[in-house]
Structure 1
Amino acid sequence: MIYLILSVLASSLIFIIFKLFSRYNVDTLQAIIVNYVVACVSGIIAYSEPVDIVTISKEGWFYGAMILGIVFISVFNLMAVTTQRNGLSVAAVATKMSLAIPIVFGIIAYQESTGILKIIGILIALIAVYLTSMKTPDGVSITRKNLIFPLLVFIGSGIIDTSLKFLETHYVAQNDVPVFSATIFGFAAIVGVFTILYKAILGKFKISIKNIIAGIGLGIPNYFSIYFLIKALRHDSMDSSTVFTINNVAVLLVSTIAGILFFREKLILKNWIGIILAILSIILVAFSI
C-alpha cells in the first residue's frame, strides 16, 4: 500500500506543478521535454547496475518501452489539443475515465477478482471522476468534429496503463524497474528533442532558463509516479484493477483538494458530490481486497 500512496502523491504533485506553469507562463512543451530527460536520468541513477545500452536493447521489455515512450508524449500533445478544442474538463474526463481499459484488461487477462463491493466501487469511481472533473454547471460539451481528440486521449491513456501492467508482469525483472522506467522516458525525450529541432528550423523555438528549471521540477515526481506505480502493480496484496482504481481516483481527489487549498479554486455542487463519491469508491475497493 505504501507504494500506491507514494505514486498518488507523486502524480498529484505533477498536477500542482502543471498548475504553476500557467501562473508563471512556463512554455509547456519545453518543460515537458526537459522533464522527460530528467526522469530518464533519475531512472539511470536509481539503477543498481552499470547501464549497458546493448544489453538493455536485448531485454524483452525494450521495444515495449520504446513504444510507450512515443505514446507518452503523443498522448500529452493530444491532451493539449483536446483542452484547446473542447476544454480542460473534457481532457480530464477522457484521461481519468481511461482507467476502465486496464481494469477490464486485468479482469479478463488475469482473472482478477470481481466481488460485488469491488464492482460497485469501480462504477462509483467512474461517476466520481466525471463529477469531480466538471468545472462548469453545463458539464462536458463535445462537438462531433472534435470528438476524435478526447477519444484518442481515452484510448492512449488506457493503453499506457494496460501496457505498464503487461510489461511489468511478463518481462520486467525486480531490479530492472528503474531502467525500464528510464527507457520509457528516454524515448519520450528523443521524440521531444526532434520536435524542438523541427521548431528551431522553422525559427519558432527560443529556449528559456525558466522552462528548464520547471522541467527539472516536473521530471523528478514524474519518474517516481511511474516507478512507484509499477512497484504497486507487482505487489501481491492488490491486483491491477484495484491499484488503477484507487490510484486514479485518489490522484483526482488529492489534486482537487490541493487546488482548493493552494489555488483557491471554486467547486460547484457536482464537484463536491464527486469528491464524496470518490472517497466512497476508494473505501469500497480497498475493503474488497
Structure 2
Amino acid sequence: MIYLLLSILFATGLFVIFKYFGIYKIDILKAIVVNYIVAFIIGFSLAEKSVPISEVYQQKWALGAAFLGALFVSIFFVMAKTAQNNGVSVASVAGKMSVVIPILFGVLLYNESVTFLKVAGIIIALVAVYLTSVKAEKNNLQKASLLFPILLFFGSGAIDTILKYVEVNFVPKNEVAIFSGSLFGFAAIFGLLVLAIKTIKKKEAFGVKNIIAGVVLGVPNYFSIVFLIKALQTEGFESSTLFTINNVGVVIISTLVGLLLFKEHFSTKNKIGVVLAIVGIILVTIA
C-alpha cells in the first residue's frame, strides 16, 4: 500500500509542477525532453542490477519500454491538442476516465475478481472522476472535434494496460529501476527527434529556465512510475483495484491542492465528485 500512496503523491506533484510551468511561462516540450533525460539518468543510477546502456536492447522488456516511450511522447502531444481544441476539463476527463481500459484488461487477461462491491465502486469512481474534473468552460465537445479526446482516452488507457502487461511478463523485481529508466530514455530519444524537427523549422534558444524546470519535473515523474510498478508487483493487489485507487486518488488530491494552493474555483459538482471518489475507493478497497 505504501508504494501506491507514494505513486499517488508523486503523480499529484506533477500536476502542481505543470501549474507552475504556466505561471513561469515554461516551454513544456523542452522541459519534458529534459525531464525524460533526468528520469533516465536516475533510473540507471539507482538500478539494483547493472545493465550497460549498450545492452538495453537485449533485455526482454526492451521492446515494451521503447513502445511505451513513444506512447509517452505521443500522448503528451494529444493531451496538449485536446486541451487547446476542446478545453482543459475535457482533456482531464478523457485522460482520467481511461482507467476503465486497464481495469477491463485486468479482469479479462488476469482473471481478476468481479464482485458487486468492486463493480459498484468502479462505476462510482468513474462518475467521481468526471464530476471532480469538470470545469465551466466555453469550449465543449459539441464545439470541437471528438478525435483528440478519443485518442487521449484510448492512448492513456493503453499506457497503463501495456505497462501492466510488460511488468507481469518481462520485468523482474530487481530490474524495475533500470526498466523505468530505459522507458524514459526511449521517451527522451523520441522527444529529442520532435524537438529537432521543431528547431529546424524555428530556431530559438533552449533557455536555462526550461532546463531547470525539466530537472524539477524529472524526479517526481520517475518515482511516480517506479512506485506504480512496485505497487503492481505487490502480491494480493489486483491491478483493477490498484488503477482505480491510484487514478481517483490523484484526482482527489490534485483537486484539493488546486483549491488550497492555487485558489481554483470549487463547484458543487466538484464537491460531490470528491465525496463520491472517497466512497468509490472505500468500496473497491473493501471488495
TM-score by length of 1: 0.96
Distance in 1, matches of 2:261 and 2:203, equals: 34
Indicate the SS of the match to 1:146. Answer: coil
Q: 1:159 to 1:6 in 2, by over 3 A?
A: same
Structure 2 residue aligned with 1:8: 8
Following superposition, the deviation at residue 144 of structure 1 comes to 7.3
**Are residues 29 and 137 of structure 1, via their aligned partners in 2, closer, same or farther at CA, if it must alter by over 3 Å?**
closer
| 1:210 and 2:214 are equivalent in the alignment | no
Note the alpha carbon deviations across 1:190-243, whole angstroms, 9 max, x for none. 111112211222234321111111110100000000000000011013100000
Whichever residue aligns with residue 174 of structure 1, its letter is K
Equivalence map 1:56-205=2 (5 Å): 56-136=56-136, 141-143=140-142, 146-205=145-204
Residues 49 and 178 in structure 2, CA contact (< 8 A), matched pair in contact too: no
Structure 2: where are the runs of 5+ without partners?
none
Question: Do the aligned partners of 1:102 and 1:241 also contact (CA within 8 Å) in 2?
Answer: yes
> Structure 1's 24 and 85: CA in aligned 2 closer, same or farther, altered over 3 A?
same
Amino acid at match of 1:218: L
Task: State the Cα distance separating 1:137 from its structure 2 match.
Answer: 7.7
Alpha-carbon separation, structure 2, partners of 1:249 and 1:214: 27
Matched, 1:239 2:238: yes
Q: Which letter does structure 2 place at the counterpart of 1:107?
A: V
Distance (whole Å) between structure 2 residues aligned to residue 244 and residue 204 of structure 1: 41
Q: Deviations over 1:23-71 (max 9, x none)?
A: 1111111111111111111111110233313432111110111010000
Partner of 1:258: 257
Structure 1's consecutive aligned runs of 4 or more residues displaced over 4 angstroms after TM superposition are none
- Contact persistence 1:122–1:281 (CA under 8 A): yes
Q: Which amino acid aligns with 1:78?
A: V
**Alignment partners' CA distance in 2, 1:21 and 1:82:** 18
Q: In the alignment, is the contact (CA less than 8 A) between 1:83 and 1:91 conserved in 2?
A: yes
Indicate the percent of aligned positions where both proteins have the same amino acid.
51
C-alpha distance in 1 between matches for 2:167 and 2:204: 37
- Name the aligned partner's letter for residue 227 of structure 2: F
Q: Could you say which residue in structure 2 is the equivalent of 1:35? A: 35
The secondary structure found in structure 1 opposite 2:141 is coil
Q: Which amino acid aligns with 2:71?
A: V
Q: Provide the C-alpha distance between the structure 1 equivalents of 2:204 and 2:149, rounded to a whole number of angstroms.
A: 28
Q: Distance in 2 between the 1:35 and 1:54 partners? A: 22
8 Å contact 2:82–2:148 — kept in the other structure?
yes
Contact 1:97-1:154 within 8 A present in 2 as well: yes
Whichever residue aligns with residue 49 of structure 1, its letter is K
Task: State how far apart, in whole Å, the 1-side matches of 2:74 and 2:87 are.
Answer: 18
Unaligned runs of 5+ in 1: none
Partner of 1:18: 18
Please report the TM-score for the alignment, with normalisation by the length of structure 2.
0.97
- The one-letter code matched in structure 1 to 2:21 is F
Q: CA RMSD in A?
A: 1.3
8 Å CA contact retained: 2:49, 2:175: no
Q: Distance in 2 between matches of 1:264 and 1:41?
A: 35
The equivalent of 1:275 in structure 2 is: 274
Once the two structures are TM-superposed, the CA of residue 145 in structure 1 deviates from its matched residue by: 5.6
Amino acid of the structure 1 residue aligned with 2:251: L
Distance 1:213 1:53 in 2: 25
Query: Alignment partner of 2:235: what SS?
Result: coil
- Return the letter of the residue paired with 2:208: I
